[in-house]
């Protein structure tokens, strides 16, 4: 049976029969596997979207879906997350409990699983606007980012993780700005007190994302001593990128690597997976659901 035929059959079932099918022990793990590698992305997205509205979406399915679909289809995935959490409060609770704790545990390990950490950080980025997620430790992110930035021959996976960390910090800052002036002040103070001096992690959001411009918008028109202090902190953040001592070309190399990989994609290759499905995999990303613009970023960063 082909992947396409299998997914089409599932989608043709009534809601009750679809629920019964998912109760079969073999179906959920197979769907997780297909989300990870199948070329039938449009059918899979349609199925996951339907499951989310029926409160049939499990936590493993949701996390795997976010991992493999959010980088190239942010708006579609966010819509699924919103529907899934509205339909299933228990799923939202499980997600909000698991993701922050798992990130904390992974960052605390001496031997980190970079693939697991990237998945968890993408889950934080994708889900934070729909449920309360405590942010990851900025200090831990800074130490890891510094390590990744100084590797002589980083792999594709490590470049992607670095970009995901960069986006995570951007998300933390913009979330703080949207929450309250006090929260933004606290987050900025934490950032500016990082042990590495100056922090590469603080230089890059400004250099690549102009994060201070976005933060300034959140305090425009606000008066008072606290507002002036926050504006001073934003100014200090902006200045960090100009005192880092790194050549701009050096800091851009990894961005260019990601861009080239995104544009070049990958050669299609025939694969027969463990379930016996024959499929075509493309390393270049989502071919059926991709947005019209070319995205070089893993997640929400725009260069």
Cβ 158 vs Cβ 150: under 8 Å? no
CB 166 within 8 A of CB 158: no
Domain termination site, one of 30, 60, 94:
94
- pLDDT given at position 195: 66
Residue 127 lies in a domain: no
Rounded Cα gap, residues 200 and 1, in angstroms = 50
Q: How many domains does the chain have?
A: 2
Same domain, 85 and 159: no
Residues 141 and 13 in one domain: no
Rounded to an integer, what distance in angstroms lies between the CA atom of residue 218 and that of residue 161?
A: 28
Same domain membership, residue 153 and residue 276:
yes
Same domain, 86 and 159: no
H or E element that contains 7: helix 3-12
Q: What 8-state DSSP symbol labels residue 270?
A: E
pLDDT of residue 207: 78
Tell me whether residue 105 is in a domain. no
165 and 77 within one domain: no
| pLDDT value of position 156 | 84
Does 217 map to a domain? yes
Q: Are residues 191 and 245 in the same domain?
A: yes
> Which pLDDT tens digits describe the chain residue by residue (303 residues)?
799 999 999 999 999 999 999 998 899 999 999 999 999 999 999 999 999 999 999 999 999 999 999 988 999 999 999 999 999 999 999 999 999 999 999 999 888 889 999 999 999 999 998 998 999 999 999 999 999 988 888 888 888 899 999 999 999 999 999 999 999 999 999 999 886 667 888 888 877 778 888 899 988 888 889 999 999 999 988 888 665 545 544 555 777 777 776 655 543 333 333 333 433 343 334 444 433 233 223 333 332
**What per-residue string of b and e applies to 80-107 under the rule 16 or more CB within 10 Å gives b?**
bbebbbebbeebbeebbeebbebbeebb
- In Å, how far are 29, 31, 36, 268, 273 from 24, measured between CA atoms? 10, 12, 20, 32, 20
165 inside domain? yes
Q: Is residue 34 part of a domain?
A: yes
Q: In DSSP terms, which residues pair with 280 in a beta bridge? A: 270
Tell me if 79 is assigned to some domain.
Answer: yes
pLDDT of 244 reads 52
Q: CA–CA separation, 158 vs 164, rounded Å? A: 10
Q: Is residue 43 part of a domain?
A: yes
Q: How many residues belong to the chain?
A: 303
Are 266 and 37 spatial neighbours (Cβ–Cβ below 8 Å)? no
No. of H helices and E strands in the chain? 15, 2
User: Do 74 and 12 share a structural domain?
Assistant: yes
Together in a domain, 179 and 236: yes
89 with 194, same domain: the answer is no
Q: Where is the domain boundary, 94, 123, 149?
A: 94
**What pLDDT does 159 receive?**
87
Q: What per-residue confidence (pLDDT) applies to 278?
A: 38
Residue 37 lies in a domain: yes
* Token reading at 53: 């509205």
Q: Which domain holds residue 61?
A: 1-94
pLDDT confidence of residue 284: 39
Distances 292 to 19, 42, 72, 73 between C-alpha atoms, Å = 34, 15, 10, 11
* CA–CA separation, 43 and 2 (whole Å): 13
Same domain, 181 and 54: no
């Amino acid at each position: 049976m082909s992947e396409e035929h299998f997914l089409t059959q599932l989608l043709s079932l009534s809601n009750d029969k679809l629920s019964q099918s998912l109760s079969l022990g073999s179906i959920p793990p197979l769907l997780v596997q297909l989300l990870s590698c199948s070329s039938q992305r449009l059918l899979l997205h349609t199925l996951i979207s339907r499951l989310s509205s029926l409160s049939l979406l499990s936590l493993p399915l949701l996390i795997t879906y976010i991992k493999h679909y959010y980088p190239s289809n942010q708006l579609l995935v966010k819509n699924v997350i919103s529907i899934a959490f509205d339909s299933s409060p228990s799923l939202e609770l499980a997600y909000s409990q698991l993701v922050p704790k798992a990130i904390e545990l992974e960052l605390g390990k001496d031997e980190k699983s970079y693939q697991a950490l990237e998945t968890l950080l993408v889950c934080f980025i994708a889900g934070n606007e729909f449920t309360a997620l405590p942010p990851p430790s900025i200090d831990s992110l800074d130490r890891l980012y510094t390590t990744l930035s100084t590797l002589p021959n980083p792999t594709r996976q490590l470049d992607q993780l670095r970009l995901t960390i960069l986006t995570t910090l951007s998300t933390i800052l913009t979330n703080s700005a949207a929450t309250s002036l006090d929260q933004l002040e606290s987050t900025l103070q934490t950032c500016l007190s990082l042990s590495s001096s100056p922090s590469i992690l603080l230089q890059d959001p400004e250099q690549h994302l102009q994060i201070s411009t976005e933060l300034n918008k959140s305090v425009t028109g606000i008066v008072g001593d606290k507002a002036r202090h926050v504006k001073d902190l934003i100014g200090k953040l902006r200045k960090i990128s100009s005192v880092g001592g790194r050549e701009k070309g050096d800091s851009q190399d990894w961005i260019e690597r990601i861009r080239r990989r995104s544009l070049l994609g990958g050669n299609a290759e025939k694969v027969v997976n463990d379930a016996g499905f024959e499929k075509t995999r493309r390393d270049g990303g989502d071919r059926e659901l991709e947005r019209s613009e070319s995205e070089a970023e893993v997640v929400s960063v725009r260069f």
